[in-house]
Structure 1
Amino acid sequence: MANVVLKWKRPETIEFPKVWHTFKAKDLNTDELVEYRIQDLPTNRVEDVFEHMMANYIQDEPISQVLEGSKDPNHIEDYKLCWSKMAEQKVPLVCFKEGSDEIVGANMLFVLKKDDEFMQAACGLFKSQVTKDLFDLMMILYEDFDTFKYYGVDEYLTSFGLSVSRKYRGRSIGDHFLATRKKLCKQYNLKLTHTFFTSDYSNQNADKVGFETNVALKYEDVIKAHPRFSHIANIKSKGMTLKTLMC
């Protein structure tokens, strides 16, 4: 655990928890427009957000879904290992509806520095083959792409999961989460946000808010080039990408 660290620190001059964005969208059971807010994840709601992500993100993320990661306790623990370190940076975001403390959605953001060994250290501790396969798939995209080198930066904002509660979907909340990243980048003096997207839906959302595609691979082509991933043949999305939004 000692090596699984993220070196970037949130500036103490920035209030916490901070509300970064508010927007209007439909309420649950009526067409009435109500206010939603996207804010920093409070320290006393970290475990609640973990529960939300396990119930929504891990069940719906295409790679975890096709490999039945939600049924693998080790896969869940692998995610929680990473999420707990991200929460320590005080960068993850959560969405609430006005007048409610129910978690509408969450985005497990963090800032990665060029000299971090976070991913390598975490991979060395993963216990689940599902998690190892997911990261191996991600690394295929990075074989010929280095975010730091390509953009000439030493740090950037990234993510390890975005999810909206099923009953709140259809309100463009995911789009608002993605767009809010620009506000964080400007406040934290970061030039870009960069992410690994694994679903058709998340890729469409990213395109809508202005992300550019760095690398894109169809899952069928990945399987052809790397037959050991034949067990993801029934995945419910077409491809995975690396995308970047300049801030």
Structure 2
Amino acid sequence: MSDLAFIWKRPNTIAFPKVWHTFQARDLDSDELIEYRIQDLPLDRFDEALEHMNANYNQDEPIAQVLDGGKQTEHLEDYKLAWRPMAEQKVPLVCFKEGSDEIVGINMLFVINKDDHFMEKIYGHFKSQVTKDIFDLMMILYENFDPFQHYGVDEYLSSFGLSVSRKYRGRSIGDHFLATRKNLCNEFALKLTHTFFTSDFSNHNADKAGFETNVAIKYEDVIKTHPRFNHIKNIKSKAMTLKTMVC
């Protein structure tokens, strides 16, 4: 949808798809170290990327998990709607291992401008209450924090989901995705990357990568101040946060 297009465009002077980072990690069936690469997600792999995110991210993200979002077609369609303009911006990243085109992991990155108002626009297109609940929770964090104003920037690199295939977990691939964001910021002349984190695992990884915490709210406190979210009381993580890494 044209109303969801982002203002920022990837410079034509930067090759696409570009390999941003390589690292060594264990192979699947042995302790042999092989090379993995993190690169731009080719547009012709977008549908496969959606399948990966639906099978991994939408099943494991704590809020969606406690609300059974991964089982609801409308929720998955809402996220597909959000991810498509990100893919068209040519910023999302994919991880492959040496000698294979199997998707190991995906990080749905995008560059947001202060005049995009992307979150407000896309909310109006959502059909699933699960998706609306996730965004309503996120907006609680932003009630008293504006990253554009706080850091004095017009745009920044953000993310709407990071996931690693279950069989490739335990190899610090998520850490490499987070670290690679600095490479993109430097190449795109962006001063920071800022994200909404919902799980204890992702919060811990972000701290290791050098993100600073802007806002943190425990889920139990959210339920106390916003009783309508009582249906997330069995969530498996402790807090949701806003975090930023200055590049």
- TM-score band by shorter chain is over 0.9
Q: What is the alpha-carbon distance in structure 1 between the residues aligned to residue 211 and residue 118 of structure 2? A: 24
1:3, distance to aligned residue in structure 2 (A): 1.5
**Aligned-pair distance for 1:124?**
0.3
Alpha carbons 1:195, 1:242 under 8 Å: kept: yes
Task: Report SS of the residue matched to 1:236.
Answer: coil
How far the C-alpha of 1:59 sits from its partner, in A, is 0.2
Establish whether residue 147 from structure 1 lines up as the match of residue 151 from structure 2.
no
Residue number in structure 2 paired with 1:94:
94
Deviation at 1:135, TM superposition (A): 0.1
1:188 has 2:188 as partner: yes
Unaligned runs of 5+ in 2: none
- The residue that corresponds to 1:163 in the other structure is 163
Alignment of 1:239 onto 2:239:
yes
1:238 counterpart letter in structure 2:
K
Deviations 1:157-180 (A, max 9, x none): 000000000000000000000000
- Write the distance in 1 (CA, Å) between the matches of 2:225 and 2:120: 24
Q: Which amino acid aligns with 1:228?
A: R
Unaligned segments of structure 1, at least 5 residues = none
Deviations 1:169-203 (A, max 9, x none): 00000000000000000000000000000000000
Q: Which residue of 1 aligns with 2:59?
A: 59
Equivalent position SS for 2:190: coil
Find runs of 4+ consecutive structure 1 residues off by over 3 angstroms. none
Q: How many angstroms apart in 2 are the aligned matches of 1:30 and 1:172?
A: 16
Bigger Cα displacement from structure 2, 114-123 vs 167-176: 114-123
Letter of the 1:177 counterpart: F
State the alpha-carbon separation in 1 of the partners of residues 60 and 109 from structure 2.
18
Q: Return the offset for 1:2.
A: 3.1
TM-aligned CA deviation for residue 94 of structure 1: 0.1
Q: How many residues align?
A: 247
Map of 1:22 onto structure 2: 22
Q: CA deviation at 1:117?
A: 2.1
After TM superposition, the structure 1 = structure 2 runs for residues 5-84 of structure 1, keeping only pairs within 5 Å, are: 5-84=5-84
Partner of 1:200: 200
What's the % identity of the aligned pairs? 75
Distance 1:236 1:176 in 2: 24
Deviations 1:196-219 (A, max 9, x none): 000000000000010000000000
Q: What secondary structure does 2:96 align onto?
A: strand
Structure 2 residue aligned with 1:127: 127
| 1:43 Cα offset (Å) | 1.1
Deviation of 1:118 (Å): 1.5
CA-based RMSD: 0.5
C-alpha contact 1:5 1:117 (8 A) present in aligned 2: no
Paired AA for residue 72 in structure 2: D
Q: Distance in 2 between matches of 1:90 and 1:245?
A: 21
Give the superposition deviation at 1:53: 0.2
Q: What secondary structure is seen at the aligned counterpart in 2 of 1:201?
A: helix
The one-letter code matched in structure 2 to 1:128 is: S
Q: Could you tell me whether the CA contact under 8 Å between 1:3 and 1:117 is conserved in 2?
A: no
